[in-house]
């Protein structure tokens, strides 16, 4: 059971998933709220009955997973639909992620939350917050390449996220992702040792 939670966040395209994978390579357990959201809305997902009850059968595809395009259209046409969707998903994500953090067998857990800075609930759960940071121009470049999006589409997403300064203001640690993966690896290895030490200190203090 793990009692030391490191919240991992960063703007879109900053390199959160890449950094999370490197922590897993070091031996950390990853609890990823985005992956949990996909699980809940996938085939046999625990959120699907509530979503169908709320929005109708059209939001489920033939296999029972959420029809993402149909849901996107609903949310686009009716802003209250997003609030209702989040009202169903967010409590389930909070509950499942908390359970998985508690159940983790590693000395510390990486809790990946894209909107960690925007969310008080998740911040409260973290012993430390690590922010993946890079220049905004690089974020835009990476997301355009990864998702085939236009510059304005990426900028629109960034505009509703916390700013780079707001994220850095709550960071205990920062991973600078402005160069190659080798540079990332070194930073993650250093932080891994630090989190092992801090988690061991916490265990000792609670005995």
Question: Which stretches of the chain bind ligand ADP, using CB under 6 A?
Answer: 10, 12-18, 142, 146, 177, 180-181, 184
Cα–Cα distance measured from residue 176 to residue 183, given in angstroms and rounded to the nearest whole number:
8
Alpha helices in the chain (DSSP H): 16-26, 33-40, 48-55, 68-77, 79-103, 120-125, 136-147, 151-159, 164-170, 181-206
Phi, psi for residue 53 in degrees, rounded to 5: -65, -35
Cα–Cα distance measured from residue 176 to residue 69, given in angstroms and rounded to the nearest whole number:
34
Between residues 186 and 203, which has the closer beta carbon with respect to ligand ADP? Answer: 186
Decide if 108 contacts 4 (C-beta within 8 A): yes
Between residues 52 and 149, which has the closer beta carbon with respect to ligand ADP? Answer: 149
Between residues 62 and 182, which has the closer beta carbon with respect to ligand ADP? Answer: 182
Cα–Cα distance measured from residue 65 to residue 207, given in angstroms and rounded to the nearest whole number:
45
Shortest gap between Cβ of 2 and ligand ADP (angstroms)? Answer: 22
Between residues 30 and 74, which has the closer beta carbon with respect to ligand ADP? Answer: 30
Phi, psi for residue 68 in degrees, rounded to 5: -65, -35
Cα–Cα distance measured from residue 120 to residue 105, given in angstroms and rounded to the nearest whole number:
26
Between residues 82 and 183, which has the closer beta carbon with respect to ligand ADP? Answer: 183
Closest by alpha carbon to 118, among 1, 6, 9? 9
Between residues 41 and 177, which has the closer beta carbon with respect to ligand ADP? Answer: 177
Shortest gap between Cβ of 111 and ligand ADP (angstroms)? Answer: 14
Shortest gap between Cβ of 131 and ligand ADP (angstroms)? Answer: 11
Shortest gap between Cβ of 13 and ligand ADP (angstroms)? Answer: 5
């Amino acid at each position: 059971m793990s009692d030391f939670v490191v919240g991992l966040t960063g703007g879109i395209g900053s390199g959160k998933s890449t950094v999370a994978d490197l922590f897993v390579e070091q031996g950390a357990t990853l609890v990823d709220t985005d992956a949990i959201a996909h699980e809940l809305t996938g085939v046999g997902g625990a959120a699907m009955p509530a979503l169908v009850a709320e929005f109708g059968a059209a939001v489920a595809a033939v296999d029972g997973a959420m029809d993402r395009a149909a849901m996107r259209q609903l949310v686009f046409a009716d802003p209250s639909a997003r609030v209702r969707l989040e009202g169903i998903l967010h409590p389930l994500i909070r509950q499942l992620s908390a359970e998985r953090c508690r159940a983790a067998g590693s000395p510390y857990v990486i809790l990946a939350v894209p909107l960690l800075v925007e969310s008080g609930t998740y911040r409260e759960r973290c012993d430390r917050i690590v922010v993946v940071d890079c220049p905004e121009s690089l974020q835009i470049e990476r997301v355009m390449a990864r998702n085939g999006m236009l510059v304005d589409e990426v900028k629109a997403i960034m505009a509703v996220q916390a700013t780079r300064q707001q994220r850095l203001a709550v960071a205990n640690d920062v991973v600078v992702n402005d160069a190659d993966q080798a540079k990332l690896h070194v930073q993650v290895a250093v932080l891994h040792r630090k989190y092992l030490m801090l988690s061991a200190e916490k265990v000792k203090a609670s005995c």
